[in-house]
Amino acid sequence: MQRVHYDDDHHAFGELATQFAAKEVAPHIDGWETAGIVAREVFAGAGAVGLLGFAADEKFGGLGVRDFRYNQMLIESFMDAGCGAVGLSFAVHNDICLPYLADLTTPEQQDRWLPGFVSGDLIAAIGMTEPGAGSDVAGIRTSAVDAGDHFVVNGAKTFITNGQNADLLITAVRTSPDRHRGLTLMVLERGMPGFERGRNLEKLGLHCQDTSELSFTDVAVPKRNLLGEIGHGFEYMMRNLPQERMQIAVGSLGRARAGLRWTVDYVRERTAFGKPIGALQNTRFVLADAATEVAVAESFIDRCVVELNAGRLSPADAAKAKLWATEMEFRVLDSCQQLFGGYGYMREYPIARAAIDARVTRVYGGTSEIMREIIGRDLDLDPTRGRRPA
């Protein structure tokens, strides 16, 4: 089925991303997986060809085009190349961090940060998750105390993607006890005394995507690094969560589609009992189900991307996209991996790496259970909710 929401410019950008992934990423992926981190140079290489910060204004080196279809093309191209972990590192930089740095910054901050962001010389990460506050964003405890011309920040973050490589950390801190109005965003920069990076966490999958523990001990953060207004951090994060969840949904769709393609190619060549295993009815039925699930997910996600571009995507629809895509991805990859037999358990086959990498998608960006809660609340099933007591 033709994906009608793309035009020639999107396809050209997708071809650029595909070529970059094949030439500059795929040959190095095994080494980066072993090292547990992507070389910083790959960000600079991506920036040089226009794959980073393309939504930033042209005066900072971007294209000045805010169109999530380009983000979608980039993620899908990397998934198709079996380099999803690198694509997702770029996605954190482009899809999650750029809206904060483009929309909440002063002209002085933009001049300081955006040129390096677009070129890949400044790598960005976002510090929300804490050891005691995962999906509960309002439970953040990292504190920032007003000290005149700066804030003094103390606390810790965990599971931070790009944590080792990051030069700019968009950090959620608590500036007052109020659960929601007490959160503020500020940018911590590499080299600030007291800003320490802990271990690069050993994960089940996404091995080359550096994921870190970070700690802050009396870090002096100048007030010129404040993002937006004090006390509006929760509002800003909630505003950007639909795009973050769409980024995850798009990645899950891309990985599932790639896994399906690899499996179709494999069953055409692999023989059992004297004929290709693709000729077996069970294989056809399994892949028919997988192809249908991918096609249904693609249709809904593409529609959600159009709504996101128009500024109409609701939190509930973003949650539906993430919930369906990540759960679908798990089912499809599990079925495909089974058809590879023992080879599906070998990391030299991309289906094995994809299946391992996919496991976390039902957790980060809000667990599947949290997504169901958001969707359920939107259905307004409790007639007593919001009523004043008699």
Q: Which of 183, 210, 231 is the last residue of a domain?
A: 231
Same domain, 79 and 63: yes
Quick check: is 185 in a domain?
A: yes
Label the pairing between strands 168-174 and 124-127: parallel
Q: Is 244 a catalytic residue?
A: yes
Task: Give every CB contact of residue 87 below 8 A, 6+ residues apart in sequence.
Answer: 21, 74, 75, 77, 78, 79, 251
Q: What does the pLDDT look like over 271-329, one tens digit per residue? A: 988 899 999 999 999 999 999 999 999 999 999 999 999 999 999 999 999 999 999 99
Count the residues in the chain.
Answer: 390
pLDDT given at position 4? 73
Is residue 118 within 8 Å of residue 62, measured between CB atoms? yes
Same domain, 117 and 137: no
Same domain, 374 and 240: yes
Same domain, 22 and 132: no
Quick check: is 32 in a domain?
A: yes
Same domain, 247 and 372: yes
Q: What does the pLDDT look like over 332-346, one tens digit per residue? A: 999 999 999 999 999
pLDDT given at position 1? 55
pLDDT given at position 387? 54
With 90 as the cut, is the pLDDT of residue 381 above it? no
Same domain, 77 and 103: yes
Same domain, 327 and 211: no
Whole-angstrom distance, CA of residue 348 vs CA of residue 249:
26
Within 10 Å of residue 52's Cβ, how many Cβ atoms? 28
Q: What does the pLDDT look like over 198-222, one tens digit per residue? A: 999 999 999 999 999 999 999 999 9
Angle 379-381-383 (CA atoms, 0-180°, nearest 5)?
A: 130
CA distances from residue 110 to 95, 113, 224, 229, 330 in whole angstroms, order as listed? 17, 5, 11, 16, 40
Name the band, by pLDDT with cuts 50, 70 and 90, for residue 390: very low
Whole-angstrom distance, CA of residue 387 vs CA of residue 29:
56
Identify which has the larger pLDDT, 55 or 263.
263
Same domain, 115 and 173: no
Whole-angstrom distance, CA of residue 244 vs CA of residue 118:
19
Whole-angstrom distance, CA of residue 169 vs CA of residue 187:
5
Q: What does the pLDDT look like over 162-178, one tens digit per residue? A: 999 999 999 999 999 99
**Taking residues 232-240, what's their average pLDDT?**
95
With 90 as the cut, is the pLDDT of residue 133 above it? no
Is residue 196 within 8 Å of residue 233, measured between CB atoms? no
Share of the chain above pLDDT 70, in %: 97
Q: Which of 196, 231, 266 is the last residue of a domain?
A: 231
Whole-angstrom distance, CA of residue 266 vs CA of residue 284:
13
Quick check: is 102 in a domain?
A: yes
Q: How many CA atoms lie within 13 A of 27 on its CB side?
A: 6
Q: What does the pLDDT look like over 88-119, one tens digit per residue? A: 999 999 999 999 999 999 999 999 999 999 99
Same domain, 374 and 245: yes
In DSSP terms, which residues pair with 193 in a beta bridge? none
Whole-angstrom distance, CA of residue 373 vs CA of residue 243:
18
User: Within the chain, where are the H helices?
Assistant: 8-20, 29-35, 41-48, 68-80, 84-91, 98-103, 107-119, 233-269, 281-309, 315-339, 350-358, 368-378
**Taking residues 4-30, what's their average pLDDT?**
94
With 50 as the cut, is the pLDDT of residue 350 above it? yes
* Options 33, 76, 130, 244, the catalytic residue: 244
Instruction: Look up the CATH number of the domain holding residue 337.
Output: 1.20.140.10
Structure tokens belonging to residue 217: 């001990």
Within 10 Å of residue 147's Cβ, how many Cβ atoms? 12
Instruction: Look up the CATH number of the domain holding residue 167.
Output: 2.40.110.10
Instruction: Look up the CATH number of the domain holding residue 38.
Output: 1.10.540.10
Mean pLDDT of the chain: 94
Is residue 302 within 8 Å of residue 317, measured between CB atoms? no
Q: Which of 122, 140, 165 is the last residue of a domain?
A: 122
Domain coverage including residue 162: 125-231
Quick check: is 54 in a domain?
A: yes
Quick check: is 384 in a domain?
A: no
Same domain, 250 and 350: yes
Quick check: is 348 in a domain?
A: yes
Same domain, 214 and 347: no
Structure tokens belonging to residue 244: 């973050």
| Dihedral sign from CA coordinates of 77, 360, 352, 323 | negative
Same domain, 156 and 74: no
Task: Give every CB contact of residue 363 below 8 A, 6+ residues apart in sequence.
Answer: none
Name the band, by pLDDT with cuts 50, 70 and 90, for residue 389: very low
Whole-angstrom distance, CA of residue 358 vs CA of residue 378:
27
Whole-angstrom distance, CA of residue 43 vs CA of residue 54:
13
**Taking residues 119-148, what's their average pLDDT?**
91
Place of tokens 């059992």: 272
Quick check: is 390 in a domain?
A: no
The tally of domains found in the chain comes to 3
Quick check: is 36 in a domain?
A: yes
Is residue 214 within 8 Å of residue 156, measured between CB atoms? yes
If we measure between CA atoms, which residue out of 48, 108, 78 comes closest to residue 254? 78
pLDDT given at position 137? 81
Phi, psi angles (nearest 5°) of residue 220: -90, 110
Three-class secondary structure assignment of 123-166:
CEEEECCECCECCCHHHCCCEEEECCCEEEEEEEEEEEECCCCC
